[in-house]
Structure 1
Amino acid sequence: MSSLPPEPPADPEDNTQTEPLSRAIGERYLTYALSTIMHRALPDARDGLKPVHRRILYAMRELRLSPNGAFRKSAKITGDVMGNYHPHGDAAIYDAMARLAQDFAMRYPLVDGQGNFGNIDGDNPAAARYTEARLAATSESLMDGLAEDAVDFRPNYDGTLQEPVVLPAAFPNLLANGASGIAVGMATNIPPHNLHEVIDACLHLIKTPDARDDTLAGILQGPDFPTGGVIVENRETIAEIYRTGRGAFRVRARWAVEDLGRGLWQIVVTEIPYQVQKSRLIERLAELIQTRKIPILADVRDESAEDIRIVLEPRARTVDPEQLMAALFRVSDLELRFSMNMNVLIDGRVPKVCSLKEVLRAFLDHRRDVLVRRATFRLDKIAARLEVLEGYLIAYLNLDRVIDIIRHEDDPKAVLMAEFALTEVQVEAILNMRLRALRKLEEIELRAERDALQDERQALQAMLADERAQWARVSDQLKEVRNLFGKSRPEGQRRTLIAEAQDIAPLDMDAMIEREPLTVILSKMGWIRAMKGHQPLDAEVKFKDGDGPGLAIHAETTDKLMIFASNGRFYTLPANSLPGGRGMGEPLRLMIDLPNEAEVIALFPWREGERYLVASKAGDGFIVAAGDILAQTKTGKQVLNGDALLCRPVGGDHLAVVGTNRKMLVFPLSELPEMSRGKGVRLQKYRSGGGLVADDTLSDAAFLTLADGLRWQESGGRTRTEPDLTAWLGKRASAGSMAPRGFPRDNKFN
């Protein structure tokens, strides 16, 4: 038999589908976005869990890691979760499980960890092969009822196993432990709360279904962070946040003044805001001391052991502790704003920013569904057991005949079913009965069990027929959980204090700086330092190899130094924050965001009320007030648009300008406008070179008093004066005349 010839390869054109690029990308991106929103980033309002957390807890339950059982290696747990339910990286799964075990991240940890699971300093957990874990008691409450058809199950990713769509959740875990996540186009951030208060709010909502959000917020009070702290917001603000589902809470560290005797004292911080790493906080406080941004703070020490203890020492005993802490709250993570965005999945399908009432209602409706499903499941079990019990009782009433049938009949099953009208299930139970169960006492126990089951069935049927009875049972279940994890337990006590911020007068930091003379030196390569005292500006100073002198000025520690660069921006630096003069200083570009291509043109101390001329190489300029050049950030403040050339303090009544063409012009100061930002006006007219000749530009400018004439310094050091400036007087933007005889060849007034 000859073999068939191979089929020709398919034409690629036959397998090609054409569609617009926008639609193809849009459909695929929408699929990705929905997957991220529903299956990764947003928690379910019913159990407060994301899929990865739900799968971790369910896998640990399948491994029988009960709260009072043995621990198992985290690597084993991670492997089971990844292989059975969550086909993603093991590192992501382990990080998620580790967070569930961190008592500084979770208000009510869902995993009981053994080993290094990280700490509040920001250290990472040990590798999964070194740590062990088991379920916490709270997790058991979340999964209570899984074996009783309380929730729906779905196939896992490869269809070999089943996983729960949502957990029964005996308590509102979403609010109790909070959640955070970033999806596509939306995000969620929910702070943890006190479980006792959340359940109290649920009970009130059951009792009063039309309760107002303000009432529920009054019961809930506010977030309850695992790290404690103090929330400084008024009740109206908190109520508005819970009503809209959006807002931010100001959270501060908790501190106290510790008396050291003889008038000395120190501040001890015992609780820090949620999600603040203690090590980074202390680094920031040490940086504030080093840079002298808080001059009244002398030292910071970390004396923490099991509990947090950060010691802050004031520079003097006369410092007000309230003002010191108020200053630290403004510039460090001792105070932060925790944003709240209650964006959750309703019924596991619809993302929505919910109010407090909507979140509680979603949980309570879920609990009622769980109750009904468990009751229905229990009724089915009761019906099956009662059927068996009825068969047993018939067998006891006719015990001799039953034994005789079993001993002598070839098909006892059929005979028993026909003679006593038994079902197949009842006959199977009778035939599988042990001989020891034939005693008289067993019959009494069977009757008692039947009566108890009938009473239970009647009670369940009555509950299913009455909605009020269902809500009463949900209330009882919530009260049971409250007794287990509420304020009657030490771990259930509220940790975060709710208070209103006190109005403390802002502390004038400049007034706290000791006024001392400084000599500020900026090298040619941009290294800056401050030497104590007013040293001669031409004194010899050591520089790095290849570097040399640049600018030098006299200032004081209380001064704000202004730096004007060729990009037309002014930068501000506190003089007291400059490095000392013992070394070579530090690069100026590390202190301000000065571009590499920009050069420093002027360096001077800021003085209130002063005015300055700023001009570009093109010959444009204007006068700017001192108040308009102060910069609040490292990026500086743009003032002059163009390639900046010079900055001069305003004085006299006329301005003299000279160009690279050696033409000089003198015009009245009144012709110069005062602006806060811009290109300015033309100072002097220049001729365009054109071709191979360079254009003429502005070279220098100087203020003068017309009656005193113009002075300049010759190369030999002698000072020359031109008393009569009639030949150079003119209108602003004129071309001017050639400079006087003996004017410096570099076209600088010096």
Structure 2
Amino acid sequence: MATDLTGPDTPIGIFDAPFDTALSERYLVYALSTITARSLPDVRDGLKPVHRRLLWAMRLLKLDPASGYKKCARVVGDVIGKYHPHGDQSVYDAMVRLAQDFALRYPLVDGQGNFGNIDGDNAAAYRYTEARLTQVAVDLMDGLDENAVNLRPTYNGEEEEPELFPGMFPNLLANGAAGIAVGMATSIPPHNAAELLDAAMALVDDPMANVLDHVTGPDFPTGGLVVDPAAVIAESYATGRGSFRVRARWSLEKEKGGGWQAVISEIPYGVQKGKLIEQIAALINDRKLPILADVRDESDAEVRIVLEPRARTVDVQVMMDGLFRLTDLETRVPLNLNVLDKERTPRVMSLRDALYAWIDHQFVVLERRTTHRLTKIADRIELLDGYLVAYLNLDRVIEIIRTEDEPKRVMIAEFSLTDRQAEAILNMRLRSLRKLEEFEIRKERDGLDKERVDLEALLADPAKRKRRMKRDLKRIRERYGPETPLGKRRTTIEEAAPTRDIPLEAMIEREPITVILSQRGWIRAMRGHVDLTASDTLKFKEGDGPAFAFHAQTTDKLLLAAEHGRFFTLAADKLPGGRGFGEPVRAMIDLDGNIRVVGFLPASRQTRLLLVASDGRGFIVPVADTIAETRKGKAVMTPRTGATLKVMRAVLPTDDYVAAIGDNRKMLVFPIAELVEMTRGQGLQLQRFRDGGLSDAVTFRFADGLSWAMGGETGRTRTETDLSAWRAARGAAGRMPPTGFPRDNRFG
């Protein structure tokens, strides 16, 4: 039987195994591979394997900042051929992101050609673009030639690649990272390198130092403002999880004549400018923000988006709050500091823990580089000692070389040289035998001796290592300090209140309309405030007629009350137009056709409503408690069995009395204070009836008297000022109404 290469006694073939066990084992292997070798960055250098391999390949191609550019196709070919056996497009996409100054706070690749733009356009194909390393990448890889990190074989064993980079640039937090693995993800926003290095120097002195004394918040390559409170930012950094509310930077530009326009100069991180402008244009076309008239993209190398208001009287803050709420001018950038620690174990770290892990790695690098340098010094001193022996015994060395068949063996025996020393002497050039060269060798040896003593003291004394670390960090900080163009902070940390609720008037263009609801339930809204008394103004289908008609604005909410006690809310701007006869109102709300509409009025103009059922029970309800959010409406009055909601009338602030009249034509007047105010229920008995029920009820100001229409086309009204005969306590039976009161027993 054939045997497995990994174990000579392990048979291979087909085996029976539970499917769930086999699947879980294989999926676990895939999941771990995705987590550790693809999606999560290492806390020590902040890179994923594909980025590390890209920079390593470019370094081997000698694409340093001082050299010329090479085609990206050459780099991608080396990467997928030697180190990263994945698709060329995925590798090139990773390389493109390393070169985009709007995606990376400190780009690691210096690209030449079309590498995409902030509008969202893609980069050109890799056969057209060229690249080389930036100084940041060089700093990140500093120490690779000094045994600072381990090298491992590549996937095919033909090459070597570093396990991570040793450089003293805090890449993880400075450039951030994003990735989705199996069952976990990471999202780290970019930060300011100078602030990170200041915090790192504080951690060198005190591992429990407060890093937030130095790191104020994210620093995005596209600028903008982080508007979260300091406490929220601190909580996110302490747990390693949270998010940052990022807004665009804008300014107000005034024009001659009192006009103005708002100009966006920086947009939130990760937002494509082209799609952002499409969002704003869609708001204008759909009239979702009518106070905004136009948007123009006047960007060149710098972002410049111009927003024009509908009128100069528009409140600019209201307009911007609306845009922040409705577009990506304000976004949330997540923080999930999930990284691989030095044991290659994924875990969520706090900001301090991540920085301290990086500092700890830098101490390891410092020790390895120091040890490597000591080895090099020892090797060099060994050779220099051999050269000095040769100079002191130059004539004898020459004689041995000229006369002996095996001069190396003779020199080793006679002068107690090592093999390396003897080989170096034999390889010396004749021009090196000058007397001056002897002094140079002695000078070099003395310098190496001094350096060796210093390095050995450095390894032996932790305090010296700390001082050396702070000195090196300070040197790097000078390169990326806030006074440099690259190091200057771009994002402002500026607490701001959450965006205000946009007034309805800002969302909907305010226009006068006339709302008409017919007896059969057909509703429409005519433009303007038409004359409701003109006989030829309102037209209806044959057999139909007016039920409710009133003037309103498109910004109003309309309340419709049905006889079963449910209230429905309609948006005035959503009503069908005035051409034709309208549409059935029951198509807009869940109202059965056999249920009668009792009342219909604008909600915004009222504060309280009088509700009375047919059995004479009622109460006063605040209008705010009758607004329904869904098509199903809201139950406000719950009439008793056999009764229905009969009256819904607005209560004016000055009304102090209630008048009620029954089917038996008896009227009662009582103080409104005797009526209860509630949000839902049956209410109290307004009037007692021996037979029949309630016909109508109304609230009024007692000092003004009670008025009613006299009927006919004259439009005249009659007012009864002396109501003392009908004034009684709530729940009384009442008496016959004044002479001339309408025969339909309604107050009009």
TM-score range, shorter-chain basis? 0.7 to 0.9
Does the C-alpha gap of structure 1 residues 105 and 575 become closer, same or farther in structure 2, counting only changes over 3 Å? farther
Which residue in 2 is equivalent to 1:420?
A: 415
Give, in angstroms, the shift of residue 563 of structure 1. 12
Q: Is the Cα–Cα contact under 8 Å of residues 293 and 308 in structure 2 kept in the other structure?
A: yes
Unaligned runs of 5+ in 1: 1-12, 522-527, 541-551, 586-591, 613-624, 642-649, 655-673, 677-703, 709-750
CA distance in 2, matches of 1:573, 1:164: 67
Give, in angstroms, the shift of residue 581 of structure 1. 9.4
RMSD over aligned CA atoms reads 4.2
Which residue in 2 is equivalent to 1:382?
A: 377
CA distance in 2, matches of 1:14, 1:174: 44
Mapped pair 1:496 → 2:494:
no
Which residue in 2 is equivalent to 1:445?
A: 440
CA distance in 1, matches of 2:402, 2:387: 18
How does 1:175-254 map onto structure 2 within 5 Å?
A: 175-211=173-209, 215-254=210-249
Mapped pair 1:318 → 2:313:
yes
CA distance in 2, matches of 1:138, 1:518: 67
Count of residues in correspondence between the two structures: 602
Task: Render the CA deviation track for 1:591-648: whole Å, top value 9, x for unaligned.
Answer: x9x9xxxx9x999997478999xxxxxxxxxxxx9967744xxxx666699xxxxxxx
Which residue in 1 is equivalent to 2:112?
A: 114
Q: Secondary structure at the match of 2:207?
A: coil
Give, in angstroms, the shift of residue 17 of structure 1. 2.1
Q: Secondary structure at the match of 1:248?
A: strand
Q: Secondary structure at the match of 1:490?
A: coil
How does 1:84-163 map onto structure 2 within 5 Å?
A: 84-163=82-161
Mapped pair 1:327 → 2:322:
yes
Task: Render the CA deviation track for 1:678-701: whole Å, top value 9, x for unaligned.
Answer: xxxxxxxxxxxxxxxxxxxxxxxx
Give, in angstroms, the shift of residue 289 of structure 1. 2.1
Which residue in 1 is equivalent to 2:513?
A: 517
Task: Render the CA deviation track for 1:317-350: whole Å, top value 9, x for unaligned.
Answer: 2233223222322222111121111111111511
CA distance in 2, matches of 1:63, 1:162: 15
Unaligned runs of 5+ in 2: 1-10, 518-522, 531-536, 542-547, 583-587, 612-622, 636-643, 649-677, 681-691, 697-748
Select which of 32, 35, 40 maps to 2:30.
Answer: 32
Q: Is the Cα–Cα contact under 8 Å of residues 606 and 626 in structure 1 kept in the other structure?
A: no
Give, in angstroms, the shift of residue 234 of structure 1. 2.0
Give, in angstroms, the shift of residue 277 of structure 1. 1.1
Name the % identity: 55
How does 1:302-317 map onto structure 2 within 5 Å?
A: 302-317=297-312
CA distance in 2, matches of 1:117, 1:579: 50
> Normalising by the residue count of structure 2, what TM-score does the alignment of the two structures yield?
0.72
Bigger mean CA offset, 285-294 vs 361-370:
285-294
Mapped pair 1:470 → 2:465:
yes
Q: Secondary structure at the match of 2:214?
A: helix
Select which of 282, 290, 298 maps to 1:287.
Answer: 282
Give, in angstroms, the shift of residue 509 of structure 1. 2.9
CA distance in 2, matches of 1:449, 1:323: 73
Counterpart of 2:36, as a letter, is: M
Give, in angstroms, the shift of residue 388 of structure 1. 0.6
Which residue in 2 is equivalent to 1:461?
A: 456
Mapped pair 1:337 → 2:337:
no
Does the C-alpha gap of structure 1 residues 505 and 340 become closer, same or farther in structure 2, counting only changes over 3 Å? closer
CA distance in 2, matches of 1:236, 1:49: 30
How does 1:617-632 map onto structure 2 within 5 Å?
A: 630-631=628-629
Counterpart of 2:160, as a letter, is: Q
CA distance in 1, matches of 2:14, 2:313: 82
Q: Is the Cα–Cα contact under 8 Å of residues 345 and 352 in structure 1 kept in the other structure?
A: yes
> Normalising by the residue count of structure 1, what TM-score does the alignment of the two structures yield?
0.72
Does the C-alpha gap of structure 1 residues 537 and 611 become closer, same or farther in structure 2, counting only changes over 3 Å? farther
Counterpart of 1:305, as a letter, is: D
Which residue in 2 is equivalent to 1:79?
A: 77
Does the C-alpha gap of structure 1 residues 160 and 570 become closer, same or farther in structure 2, counting only changes over 3 Å? farther
Give, in angstroms, the shift of residue 372 of structure 1. 0.8
Counterpart of 1:495, as a letter, is: R
Give, in angstroms, the shift of residue 469 of structure 1. 1.3
Give, in angstroms, the shift of residue 520 of structure 1. 10
Give, in angstroms, the shift of residue 26 of structure 1. 1.8
Larger radius of gyration: 2
Q: Is the Cα–Cα contact under 8 Å of residues 111 and 132 in structure 2 kept in the other structure?
A: yes
Q: Is the Cα–Cα contact under 8 Å of residues 246 and 342 in structure 1 kept in the other structure?
A: yes
Q: Secondary structure at the match of 1:197?
A: helix
How does 1:574-653 map onto structure 2 within 5 Å?
A: 575-576=572-573, 607=603, 630-631=628-629, 652=646
Q: Is the Cα–Cα contact under 8 Å of residues 65 and 72 in structure 1 kept in the other structure?
A: yes
Give, in angstroms, the shift of residue 262 of structure 1. 2.5
Select which of 547, 555, 559 maps to 1:558.
Answer: 555
Does the C-alpha gap of structure 1 residues 170 and 602 become closer, same or farther in structure 2, counting only changes over 3 Å? farther
Counterpart of 1:286, as a letter, is: A
Q: Secondary structure at the match of 2:299?
A: coil
Task: Render the CA deviation track for 1:155-192: whole Å, top value 9, x for unaligned.
Answer: 11122111111111311101100111111111111110
Give, in angstroms, the shift of residue 513 of structure 1. 3.4
CA distance in 2, matches of 1:365, 1:14: 45
Give, in angstroms, the shift of residue 220 of structure 1. 0.5
Select which of 394, 399, 413 maps to 1:399.
Answer: 394
Task: Render the CA deviation track for 1:467-526: whole Å, top value 9, x for unaligned.
Answer: 1211222212211111112223112100111111147865523277323227899xxxxx
CA distance in 2, matches of 1:399, 1:579: 111
Give, in angstroms, the shift of residue 100 of structure 1. 0.6
CA distance in 2, matches of 1:456, 1:307: 50
CA distance in 1, matches of 2:87, 2:567: 50
Task: Render the CA deviation track for 1:337-366: whole Å, top value 9, x for unaligned.
Answer: 211111111115111111111101110111
